[in-house]
Structure 1
Amino acid sequence: MANTATAIFHGVEVPETLLAAEMQNHQAASLSDARVRAGRALAAKAVLLDRARQLGIAAQPELNADGLEETQEEALIRELLSQEVEAEAPPADAVRRIYEDQPNGFRTPPLLEASHILVAPDERDDIAATNARARADELLAVLARQPDRFAGLARTVSACPSGSDGGTLGQLRPGDVLPPIWQALLALEPGEFADEPVRTEHGWHVLRLDHRVDGRRLPFEHVAAHIEMQLEARAWTLAAARYVDALLKRSSATPPDLGISVLGTLETDETPVTRVYAVLGDVFANPQGALLALKPDVLKVIDAEAARRRCAPASVLSDAINSFLTEAKDEAWTQVISRLRDSASPLPDCLETMIRNQFPQVKATRTLILTRRGGGSDSVEKGQPDGTGL
């Protein structure tokens, strides 16, 4: 990834191209928020895969909930979480409380009997759809005056095979018809027509509810196991989130040699973070010598801070680097990595970015001193633009 533009999230190197693709999976109020969420997701993937590697976990891809086979990385993460994350079983009183707090819940689904007349558009365009809606409205107007004509109109008008049976759809449960039709039928009383035709991909439906058998509330004993399983799943999800948060926190505090490739696989070879440590070399062992590598304006910042603290500049430099490595945010790390990638003199440039992150540039101040020259008063500016010196 040395020649690829990258960013740092939680101490993990993420290629910009992969980050841009991942952002599409994260809804957010702004692009910057989506970028942060995408970066966190990719960093989480890296630290999870690294943890699986450390534990020597092996896993075979399985079919996921959508019937698609997992990738090898997805299988490793699934197996890691199943081994590392545990959630306590919910107490019995919590299961009972969920049941009692939902008096209208945990019911068998209603059983409906309904009929319909389907008015299908002649063509697949807006004009045909509008014409079909108009024909459906005319049918509703006729049925409002002569409801007993429903079966006959279904046989002659309906584009559904049920028309030959007078439009009857038989007994229906959730999932037997399209959701818009089911929701419209639930709002009706037996014998009522829907006030308006209901549109689906097939056309416009004139609906009538013929009969309803409301669902009954199930006894607690019949649903206790289901409630307990839902609570366990919720607790496990929260435990898994805390587990990932802990890995990311550790990764942020001590950036590992980790990165995600443009293909989304884990990379543990030399990463920009590794190269930063390599560039720093023996700065910690010889901070006095490292001062010689600083640019003059950066050295002034160090000298000013040393004067304020009344300590040696080398001590200030060591503290600044230590603070950056342990406390710097992802954006600051990204700036360092960018300088490292593009710089012809990586050591002074890395040090400059770290120092300016720890000690933002002092605002320029100048002292106006009045001096007398030949009996008059002239104003003379003294001091450096960064506020140091006289």
Structure 2
Amino acid sequence: MSGGVDSAVAAARAVEAGHDVVGVHLALSRMPGTIRTGSRGCCTIEDAMDARRAANLLGIPFYVWDLSERFTEDVVDDFIAEYAAGRTPNPCMRCNEKIKFAALLDKATALGFDAVATGHYATLIPGAHGPELHRASAWAKDQSYVLGVLTERQLAHCYFPLGDTPSKQLIRAEAAERGLQVAQKPDSHDICFIPDGDTRGWLSDHVDRSPGDILDETGAVVGSHDGAHGYTVGQRRGLQLGRPAPDGKPRYVLSIRPVSNQVVVGPKERLEISRIAGGRFSWAGEPGFDPAEPFTCDVQIRAHADPVPALARLAAIHDDERTELHRADATHEVVVDIDLEHAEPLVGVAPGQTAVLYVGTRVLGQFTIDRAVPLEAAATRS
């Protein structure tokens, strides 16, 4: 129970369904903020108090479990390491993978509980090989993307009571009818451990800042930076380039080279990506087919992005395609080619992002993007 309206209503529905429910709030910081500011931040003392009030109203036991050390190691430290390596990570994915459905689930099952219920908008459907994770009935609120890291074992111990609810407005109305004080509480946004939203400033305090060169695609130096971690693929503003482009058009960050500490910029059209590939993949249950054979699917690279049709396969990493962003021990990767007959190229793809694969409404699995091939380069190779 995060202290928000979704988890409060999820708990209420679990109680109403006849389950033996215990409310748990996760303390993810040893020094939590005392109050929230609108939708900024989460896991504050105020959130814990809101969760406790909801549990008291529902008449269920309530506990605060301190997972702050695990959260720091598995989410915050990983976030810092990924940025230092030139990646753009998604800490919410790591939190679901390592904390909510790993550390929390392991502790819950060890204590004899059957499942962890959350307020995520997603649906579990029995399949031929076990539970399948599907989109929520309302795609506008669907959160299956951030659950794409879950495995078959974890899905077998998950419960998502809100998956069939078509809108957040109905959840708020239900909360008000139940007398829950969080009925109109704003949703949390931004990274929970950077509540002011200033990711670049926060990283400056946690990642070594080493000045380096900003290059164009020819390798010519067109500017300098005071820390590559402060840039992300697709960025246009704040580059402060000393040399304008020959055509006078704006330039965008195309890639970050962590080993040489260089930032590469170029024209907007070079951000158009027709192939992505990466490792650290996992399947959300048995696929039901051999993923080494090409298969059609949809791919989604951000929580609120539209899925695009694609052709994917699991393949060995060729040495000539290995980049400095590949992990040294990685031998295979998921390769995804965008179906350009039915979709536009992806734009602004950053290594470190999570790509989630769907077959229809079902979440098939996910991988971390290690390389993104521009449209022109992919056409030349093929």
Q: Which has the higher helix share?
A: 1
Which range, TM-score by smaller chain? Answer: under 0.3
Q: Which has the higher strand share?
A: 2
Pair member with larger Rg:
1
For CA contacts below 8 A with separation 6 or more, give which structure has more relative contact order.
1
**TM-score (norm. length: structure 1):** 0.20
